[in-house]
């Protein structure tokens, strides 16, 4: 059950899941609670619309399980709730017949996985497991590179952060998708890595992960680096062979995808919703923190979102975060004439599924899915590049 090209016929797809309305029963402020309940209901409605489209193409759908009780997702150490398994793309990567899932065993494992790749020759061969034994200059570097927090161990790697990953792995097992080769890697997902047959496209910022991935997938692939960081699927999408939709000149496409048509949408970038993004930053994480239900900033965010931004992004912002079903069909979030004209030239039919709260949850159509099985074998679209 491999995946080589993301335009091969999709057979099995994981679709994310958010918390149900009942989850927010702890919120005492009725305005904030009602807003979050509405967001929860509309989010699931959009998930179901997406599932309906996929099932019309005989795609097998699997979803992680999410309970109704907020208590089971509460982390007592951080006094926050775990993120729901909404975006399986962000922590799962399928390359050929290999699955990568980000599930460190403990707080230090996250650093251990990168340590060999980033350590200076003067550093200890192995990272000390006792924080007090870590030299200060190394600890400072780790704080900078890995968001290491001495009070909370590794802040990015708190146990509650990995509930979505654990839930996803359990779901794969229950649905017979495992056993398959499974590898634990922090950033080996298909939100950050673009698969185009024999070629994998990696942003430069993720170089520390390349060695680990390459050791697993071997010489079957070529690694292509381009300037950038973060999630590539939010910036560009090779829809079918020969066509790329991008927010801007995200990379030198003449080198990375020679002779392919590139459709740029510079007016459709995150800058269009920057006012809301800035407002949300001021209240970062507050909707997951008990005791903040009376927070005026929280109320402002959810009310401003529901009152203004949903309609705005639904009507005017096209997201390149698309899911390709096969070479003739792709799921998009809304209409864009420039994109639709290009798709028509290549014989591709767009199917609109508006994930209304994608900017609230930070995840588009591609992020909230993960293609686990597609028909087809590996193809070399750029044979002139030679072997790996």
For the segment 243-267, the average pLDDT, to the nearest whole number, is 86
Last residue of a domain, one of 152, 170, 205: 152
Cα separation of 211 and 160, whole Å? 28
101 or 158, higher pLDDT:
101
Say if 4 falls within a structural domain: no
21 and 41 assigned to the same domain: yes
What pLDDT was estimated at residue 378? 92
204 and 261 assigned to the same domain: yes
Q: Which tokens belong to 90? A: 């962000």
Q: How confident is the model at residue 205 (pLDDT cuts 50, 70, 90)?
A: low
Q: What is the mean pLDDT of the chain?
A: 76
Domain of residue 225, residue span? 10-107+158-385
Cα-Cα-Cα-Cα torsion 53, 57, 59, 63, nearest 10 degrees, comes to 10
259 and 347 assigned to the same domain: yes
Q: How confident is the model at residue 191 (pLDDT cuts 50, 70, 90)?
A: confident
Say if 102 falls within a structural domain: yes
- Number of DSSP helices (H) and strands (E) in the chain, helices first: 11, 17
Most confident of 61-75, 231-245, 266-280, 337-351: 337-351
Q: How confident is the model at residue 4 (pLDDT cuts 50, 70, 90)?
A: very high
259 and 345 assigned to the same domain: yes
237 and 334 assigned to the same domain: yes
Q: Rg of the chain's alpha carbons, rounded to an integer?
A: 21
Say if 68 falls within a structural domain: yes
187 and 95 assigned to the same domain: yes
172 and 319 assigned to the same domain: yes
Quick: pLDDT tens for 132-156. Answer: 777 888 777 765 554 444 432 333 3
What pLDDT was estimated at residue 38? 86
Q: How confident is the model at residue 107 (pLDDT cuts 50, 70, 90)?
A: very low
| Of 311, 385, 307, 319, the residue nearest 352 (C-alpha) | 319
Quick: pLDDT tens for 220-248. Answer: 788 888 776 667 887 889 999 999 999 87
What pLDDT was estimated at residue 340? 96
Cα separation of 326 and 7, whole Å? 5
pLDDT at 353 over 60: yes
Cα separation of 60 and 115, whole Å? 38
pLDDT at 193 over 70: yes
Last residue of a domain, one of 152, 181, 210: 152
What pLDDT was estimated at residue 110? 47
What pLDDT was estimated at residue 97? 82
Cα separation of 355 and 365, whole Å? 7
Q: How confident is the model at residue 173 (pLDDT cuts 50, 70, 90)?
A: low
Say if 87 falls within a structural domain: yes
120 and 251 assigned to the same domain: no
Say if 375 falls within a structural domain: yes
80 and 133 assigned to the same domain: no
Q: How confident is the model at residue 158 (pLDDT cuts 50, 70, 90)?
A: very low
Quick: pLDDT tens for 287-316. Answer: 555 566 566 766 666 666 666 656 555 555
* Candidate from 30-44, 72-86, 323-337 with smallest mean pLDDT: 72-86
Contacts of 165 (CB under 8 A, 6+ apart): 85, 91, 92, 101, 102, 103
Say if 248 falls within a structural domain: yes
Q: How confident is the model at residue 347 (pLDDT cuts 50, 70, 90)?
A: very high
Say if 3 falls within a structural domain: no
Cα separation of 46 and 31, whole Å? 23
123 or 50, higher pLDDT:
50
Cα separation of 27 and 279, whole Å? 21
pTM, full prediction = 0.78
83 and 137 assigned to the same domain: no
Last residue of a domain, one of 152, 176, 206: 152
218 and 186 assigned to the same domain: yes
Is 99:178 a contact under the CB 8 Å cutoff? yes
Q: Identify the CATH number of the domain in which residue 373 sits.
A: 3.75.10.10
Cα separation of 85 and 135, whole Å? 36
Helix-strand-coil percent breakdown of the chain, rounded to 5? Answer: 40, 20, 40
* Candidate from 29-33, 191-195, 282-286 with smallest mean pLDDT: 282-286
Cα separation of 59 and 155, whole Å? 37
16 and 122 assigned to the same domain: no
**Mutual orientation of helices 296-304 and 274-282 as an angle, nearest 10°?**
160
Q: Domain count for the chain, please give it.
A: 2
Exposure on the CB side of residue 42, measured as CA atoms within 13 A? 16
Say if 2 falls within a structural domain: no
pLDDT at 104 over 70: no
pLDDT at 352 over 60: yes
What pLDDT was estimated at residue 157? 38
């Amino acid at each position: 059950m491999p995946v080589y090209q993301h335009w091969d016929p999709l057979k099995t797809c994981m679709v994310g899941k958010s918390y149900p309305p009942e989850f927010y029963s702890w919120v005492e402020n009725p305005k904030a609670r009602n807003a979050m309940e509405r967001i929860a209901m509309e989010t699931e409605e959009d998930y179901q619309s997406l599932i309906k489209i996929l099932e019309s193409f005989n795609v097998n759908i699997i979803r992680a399980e999410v309970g109704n009780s907020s208590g089971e997702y509460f982390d007592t150490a951080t006094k926050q709730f775990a993120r729901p398994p909404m975006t399986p793309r962000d922590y799962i990567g399928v390359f050929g017949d290999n699955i990568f899932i980000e599930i460190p065993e403990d707080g230090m494992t996250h650093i251990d996985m990168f340590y060999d790749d980033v350590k200076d020759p003067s550093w200890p061969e192995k990272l000390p497991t006792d924080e007090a034994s870590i030299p200060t200059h190394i600890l400072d570097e780790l704080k900078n590179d890995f968001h290491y927090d001495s009070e909370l161990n590794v802040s990015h790697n708190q146990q509650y952060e990995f509930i979505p990953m654990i839930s996803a792995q359990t779901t794969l097992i229950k649905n017979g998708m495992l056993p398959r080769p499974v590898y634990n890697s922090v950033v080996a997902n298909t939100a950050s890595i673009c698969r185009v047959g024999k070629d994998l496209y990696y942003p430069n910022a993720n170089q520390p992960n390349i060695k680990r991935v390459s050791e697993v997938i071997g010489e079957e692939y070529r690694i292509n680096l381009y300037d950038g960081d973060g999630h590539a699927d939010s910036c560009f999408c090779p829809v079918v062979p020969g066509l790329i939709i991008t927010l801007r000149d995200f990379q030198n496409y003449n080198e990375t995808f020679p002779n392919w048509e590139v459709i740029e949408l510079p007016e459709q970038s995150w800058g269009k919703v920057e006012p809301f993004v800035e407002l949300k930053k001021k209240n970062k994480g507050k909707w997951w923190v008990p005791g903040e239900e009376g927070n005026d900033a929280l109320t402002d965010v959810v009310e401003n979102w529901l009152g203004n931004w949903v309609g705005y992004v639904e009507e005017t912002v096209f997201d390149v975060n698309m899911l390709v079903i096969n070479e003739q069909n792709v799921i998009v979030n809304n209409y864009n004439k420039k994109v639709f004209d290009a798709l028509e030239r290549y014989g591709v039919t767009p199917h609109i599924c508006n994930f209304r709260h994608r900017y609230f949850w930070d995840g588009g159509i591609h992020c909230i899915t993960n293609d686990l099985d597609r028909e087809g074998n590996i193809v070399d679209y750029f044979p002139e590049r030679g072997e790996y």
